[in-house]
Amino acid sequence: MSAAEIVISPAALRAYVAAVLEAGGSAAREAELTASNLVLANLSGHDSHGVGMIPQYIGFLRGGGLIANQHARVTGDMGSMIMVDGCRGYGQVIGHESMQLGIVRAQRDGLALVALRNSHHIGRIGQWAEDCAAAGLVSIHFVNALLRPLVAPWAGADARFTTNPFCVGVPRTGSAPMILDFATSKVALGKVRVAMQNEKEMAAGTLIDGRGYPTTDPHVMFEQDLQNKLGAILPFGEHKGYGMALMCEILAGALTGGETLHKVGDYAAIYNNMLSIIIDPARLAGARFGEQMEAFIAWVKQSPTAPGYDKVRISGEPELEMRARRESGIPIDVNTWADMHEAARQVGMSEAVLQRHTGAARPA
């Protein structure tokens, strides 16, 4: 049984989210960047990183864990290496500004390493790979997060780290870039939240409860059991995903000069550290890079389609297809929609303004 949904146009949704953020104290540019980033996540089919984050953001903002109108602050500049402090500002702004710093440096020198620490939630990591790819650059991103532990280690029975994303972006001439972007857990926490809001169960083998036993109930990630314990998400690929999560934690949390998650801390928000390596492929392989890549992609796509599938896809194509489908309207479950309205009221949005921004929504 799924919760009902509404559908709203991307433009109307961007305007609504930006208005909520401005009511919360954000400057117009910050509101625009953050709203555009969140709505693009919904357009891409990643509702876990979309506008459903707004109630959390507003809660963190009001509690002081998220600080409006901050900018990426360069704390170290060593030629090809740049160290950036996010000042606990909106990650959609900090991520954008950090990548622009790295892009300029990689275009100048052929290679840049950006060590970002202390940013509020930087959202869908694929966004930053897309920004680099739009500039003709390859990028690799390792991310950790500081909040309560969410993911169990391989063979463990409780959570010890978070969903620790890994991402790679590769530009293509005349085609959309290849974007590989995934959590090292079986799913991101936001996808568990979406399932709960939609009154759906999770797939078997995704979650364990507070005792370490398998469960399909998404509530275990948000509601404590009788022993005051929460559940955990499992790593993808068993020990392999677990190993990647460990490396993301170390490279993003420790190597950036940030912080690793090594205790149950009292974090006032969601904080991210990200280690990004940005490369100009023209400096390494010249035209051969594109030639060899396209030959490989064509070879892969010549594989006969397996039963139950319509075609062979490469990384990034499912998101592009979803964007085309959702351009006419983005679905949002009514529970999340109601939570967004309450967040808008908490920052002082009047019912009249709320209705003006949401009146175009229609039942799915």
Global pTM?
0.95
Helix orientation angle between 334-346 and 189-197, rounded to the nearest 10 degrees: 110
| pLDDT digit string, tens, across residues 334-353 | 999 999 999 999 999 999 99
Final residue before a domain boundary, out of 197, 215, 234 = 234
Mean pLDDT of the chain: 96
Averaged over 187-192, what is the pLDDT? 91
Tokens in use for 250? Answer: 């170390």
Alpha-helix residue ranges (DSSP H) falling in the chain: 10-23, 28-43, 54-63, 91-109, 126-134, 189-197, 239-248, 281-284, 287-301, 317-326, 334-346, 351-358
What whole-number distance in Å separates Cα of residue 145 and Cα of residue 153?
A: 15
Q: Are residues 172 and 119 in the same domain?
A: yes
Averaged over 244-256, what is the pLDDT? 98
Tell me phi and psi for residue 178, to 5 degrees: -85, 125
Concatenate the DSSP letters of all residues of 4-67 into one string: PEEEE-HHHHHHHHHHHHHHTT--HHHHHHHHHHHHHHHHTT-GGGSGGGHHHHHHHHHHTSSB
Q: Are residues 19 and 79 in the same domain?
A: no
Q: How many domains does the chain have?
A: 3
Tokens in use for 4? Answer: 């009902």
The sheet with strand 232-233 has its strands ordered as 214-215, 207-208, 232-233
Assign 1 a pLDDT band (cuts: 50, 70, 90): very low
| pLDDT digit string, tens, across residues 85-135 | 999 999 999 999 999 999 999 999 999 999 999 999 999 999 999 999 999
pLDDT at 266: 80
What is the SS3 assignment for 113?
Answer: strand
User: Are 294 and 111 within 8 A, CB to CB?
Assistant: no
Identify the weakest region by mean pLDDT among 116-125, 169-178, 189-198: 189-198
Q: Are residues 255 and 165 in the same domain?
A: yes
63 lies in some domain: yes
pLDDT at 152: 98
CATH number reported for the structural domain that contains residue 120 in this entry: 3.30.1370.60
CATH number reported for the structural domain that contains residue 344 in this entry: 1.10.1530.10
Helix orientation angle between 126-134 and 28-43, rounded to the nearest 10 degrees: 100
Which range of residues forms the domain containing residue 209?
188-234
| pLDDT digit string, tens, across residues 3-31 | 799 999 999 999 999 999 999 999 999 99
Rounded CA Rg of the chain: 20
Tokens in use for 14? Answer: 């961007």
Q: Are residues 131 and 57 in the same domain?
A: no
Assign 264 a pLDDT band (cuts: 50, 70, 90): confident
304 lies in some domain: no
307 lies in some domain: no
| pLDDT digit string, tens, across residues 141-161 | 999 999 999 999 999 999 999
User: Are 241 and 161 within 8 A, CB to CB?
Assistant: no
Final residue before a domain boundary, out of 282, 297, 312 = 282
CATH number reported for the structural domain that contains residue 215 in this entry: 3.30.60.50
pLDDT at 2: 56
